[in-house]
């Protein structure tokens, strides 16, 4: 992405990108150390910690549903700012309270606030970006998110000492700044164009799309395992590190890996594989990354586990988006992505709850959670590869691969016979890494 492409973006989009950076900065000052604070400073059990994290994920879904409804009636600018303000209240509350039920309430408040803010921000980016700049806008959003995440880890590692409370207060102040910025600088509604309205009967169209529904069910398993790193890694760090808050630096390292490696992973691996094969490989990396935490006894070991995990993350995140875009109808793509977002929240909520229970059992059988994580990754890989053999989803992906008018803001993955001009092979064969194009 060149400077000339960035300069073509509208002013409002730059304001939104700053908002993305600020929201990730505030969030990832908290996420890495939240399980540690809940365990060490609040004295919660592992299953209670998993329940608090699950509450954030579940309430995020309710916030997303309300946000989508209210944004079209009140305006995205107001909902983005309102979500950030509500999230600020929850973050500050984490710094004030230490009892389980109050912390659970703060988790719900944070989830609702982020649910109002994040999907409305994505919708605003899609609405405000011109069609020719949508790909650049969403790429820039990913860069802004990773810069925010990386900066958050550095702030916690180098500048924050002593009590964790100050971290929550600073994160809350960042969210308040995001509120003010949004209300003062963003345009009303969807800019110069009217906000799109979901046609009547749209939800029935989604529910009749069997490939999308089945893929969504499998995605719940994917997101459940994906959620384990944010729960298991900080708790493992609390057991082996002199200062567990240093674990925040691992999120910085992971973000740097993504910033410099995602392009190679996308172009060199993902685009040469069937999307479900890429997902399968990614789940093995996710399972091994989390499972390898069992062998950690120093900070460097945590870094290695995080790097293995993030390799899987780079495989699955763009591939899930791509697969959703290929299984959706172009005129309803916002609705399809919205429902996919609900699915991800359900998976993360269930994963956090089950993960907390597993880690609690692990206090008696130390190796059990980590073996379960690794085996689960391999099992999901086999499920995804079996799904690839299901004719309806294979047919849907092949038809999508032949279309020339796929949504520009969604990543594209070659997924069928070589009628799709970007496919690296001259004829349909089993994929092999870096196979050279044959002459015809």
Provide mean pLDDT across the span 147-176.
Answer: 87
pLDDT of amino acid 428? 33
The residues of the chain that CATH labels 1.20.1250.20 are 10-190, 201-424
Provide mean pLDDT across the span 43-67.
Answer: 89
- DSSP, residue by residue, 289-303: HHHGGGG--SHHHHH
Residues contacting residue 35 through CB under 8 Å, at least 6 positions apart: 49, 53, 230, 231, 234, 235, 238
Residues contacting residue 370 through CB under 8 Å, at least 6 positions apart: 290, 291, 292, 293, 294, 362
CA dihedral sign, ordered 12, 13, 14, 18: positive
Number of Cβ within a 10 Å radius of residue 365? 10
Look at 389 and 421; give whichever has higher pLDDT: 389
Give the C-alpha separation, 264 to 434, whole Å: 12
- DSSP, residue by residue, 121-164: HHHHHHHHS-GGGHHHHHHHHHHHHHHHHHHHHHHHHHH--S-T
| Poorest-pLDDT segment among 248-262, 314-328, 350-364 | 314-328
pLDDT at residue 422 above 50?
no
Helix pair 11-30, 165-185: axis angle to 10 deg? 170
pLDDT at residue 410 above 90?
no
pLDDT at residue 386 above 90?
yes
Provide mean pLDDT across the span 402-413.
Answer: 50
Look at 103 and 437; give whichever has higher pLDDT: 103
**Which of 10-19, 94-103, 153-162, 415-424 reaches the highest mean pLDDT?**
94-103
Tell how far CA 266 is from the center of its chain: 17
Provide mean pLDDT across the span 245-273.
Answer: 86
Give the C-alpha separation, 316 to 200, whole Å: 32
Q: pLDDT tens across 116-161, in order?
A: 888 778 777 766 765 555 545 666 777 788 899 999 989 888 877 6
Which fold, 10-190?
Answer: Growth Hormone; Chain: A; (1.20.1250)
pLDDT of amino acid 244? 82
Give the C-alpha separation, 66 to 410, whole Å: 24
| Poorest-pLDDT segment among 45-49, 80-84, 115-119, 304-308 | 115-119
| Whether the Cβ atoms of residue 108 and residue 55 lie closer than 8 Å to each other | yes
Tell how far CA 421 is from the center of its chain: 30
Residues contacting residue 392 through CB under 8 Å, at least 6 positions apart: 210, 211, 214
| Poorest-pLDDT segment among 213-217, 328-332, 333-337, 414-418 | 414-418
Give the C-alpha separation, 431 to 72, whole Å: 44
DSSP type of residue 404: S
The CATH number that domain 201-424 falls under is 1.20.1250.20
Look at 2 and 165; give whichever has higher pLDDT: 165
pLDDT at residue 413 above 50?
no
User: Quick one: CA torsion of 157, 162, 163, 167, rounded to 10 degrees?
Assistant: -30
Residues contacting residue 382 through CB under 8 Å, at least 6 positions apart: 280
| Poorest-pLDDT segment among 22-26, 163-167, 321-325, 428-432 | 428-432
Q: Where are the alpha helices (DSSP H) in 75-133?
A: 76-96, 100-128
pLDDT band at 107 (very low <50, low <70, confident <90, very high): very high
pLDDT, averaged across the chain: 81
| Whether the Cβ atoms of residue 338 and residue 119 lie closer than 8 Å to each other | yes
pLDDT band at 24 (very low <50, low <70, confident <90, very high): very high
430-438 contacts at long range (C-beta below 8 A, 24 or more positions apart): 431/272, 431/273, 431/274, 431/277, 433/269, 433/272, 434/268, 434/272, 435/272
For the chain, helix, strand, coil in percent to 5 are 80, 0, 20
Number of Cβ within a 10 Å radius of residue 15? 18
Nearest to 289 by CA among 264, 315, 318: 315
pLDDT band at 433 (very low <50, low <70, confident <90, very high): very low
pLDDT band at 417 (very low <50, low <70, confident <90, very high): very low
Give the C-alpha separation, 340 to 319, whole Å: 13
CA dihedral sign, ordered 299, 157, 354, 275: negative
Residue count of the chain: 440
Give the C-alpha separation, 238 to 276, whole Å: 36
pLDDT at residue 71 above 80?
no
DSSP type of residue 413: -
Number of Cβ within a 10 Å radius of residue 139? 17
Give the C-alpha separation, 311 to 383, whole Å: 20
């Amino acid at each position: 992405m060149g400077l000339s492409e960035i300069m073509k973006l509208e002013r409002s989009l730059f304001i939104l990108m700053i908002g993305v950076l600020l929201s990730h900065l505030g969030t990832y000052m908290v996420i890495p150390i939240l399980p540690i604070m809940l365990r060490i400073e609040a004295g919660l059990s592992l299953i209670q910690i998993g329940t608090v994290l699950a509450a954030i994920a579940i309430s995020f879904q309710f916030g997303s549903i309300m946000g989508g409804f209210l944004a079209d009636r009140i305006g995205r600018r107001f909902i983005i700012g309102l979500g950030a303000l509500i999230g600020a209240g929850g973050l500050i509350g984490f710094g004030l309270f230490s009892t389980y039920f109050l912390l659970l309430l703060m988790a719900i408040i944070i989830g609702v606030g982020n649910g109002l803010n994040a999907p409305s921000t994505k919708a605003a980016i899609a609405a405000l970006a011109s069609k020719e700049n949508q790909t650049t806008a969403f790429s820039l959003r990913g860069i802004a998110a990773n810069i925010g995440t990386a900066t958050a880890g550095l702030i916690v590692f180098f500048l924050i000492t002593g009590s964790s409370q100050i971290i929550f207060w600073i994160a809350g102040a960042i969210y308040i700044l995001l509120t003010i910025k949004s209300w003062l600088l963003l345009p009303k509604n969807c800019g110069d164009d009217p906000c799109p309205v979901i046609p009547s009967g749209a939800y029935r169209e989604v529910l009749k799309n069997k490939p999308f529904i089945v893929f969504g069910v499998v995605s719940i398993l994917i997101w459940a395992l994906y959620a384990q790193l944010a729960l298991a890694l900080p708790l493992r760090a609390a057991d082996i590190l002199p200062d567990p808050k240093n674990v925040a630096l691992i999120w910085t390292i992971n973000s740097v890996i993504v910033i410099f490696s995602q392009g190679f992973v996308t172009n060199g691996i993902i685009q040469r594989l069937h999307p479900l094969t890429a997902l399968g490989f990614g789940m093995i990396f996710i399972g091994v990354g989390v499972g390898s935490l069992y062998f950690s006894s120093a900070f460097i070991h945590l870094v290695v586990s995080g790097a293995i995990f993030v390799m899987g993350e780079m495989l699955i995140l763009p591939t899930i988006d791509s697969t959703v875009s290929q299984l959706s109808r172009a005129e309803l793509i916002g609705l399809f992505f919205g429902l996919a977002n609900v699915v991800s929240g359900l998976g993360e909520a269930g994963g956090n709850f089950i993960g907390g229970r597993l880690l609690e059992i692990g206090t008696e059988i130390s190796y059990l959670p980590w073996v379960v994580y690794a085996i689960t990754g391999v099992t999901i890989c086999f499920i995804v590869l079996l799904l690839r053999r299901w004719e309806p989803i294979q047919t849907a992906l092949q038809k999508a691969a032949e279309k020339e008018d796929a949504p520009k803001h969604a990543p594209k993955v070659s997924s069928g016979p070589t009628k799709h001009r970007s496919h690296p092979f001259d004829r349909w064969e089993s994929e092999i890494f870096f196979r050279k194009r044959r002459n015809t």
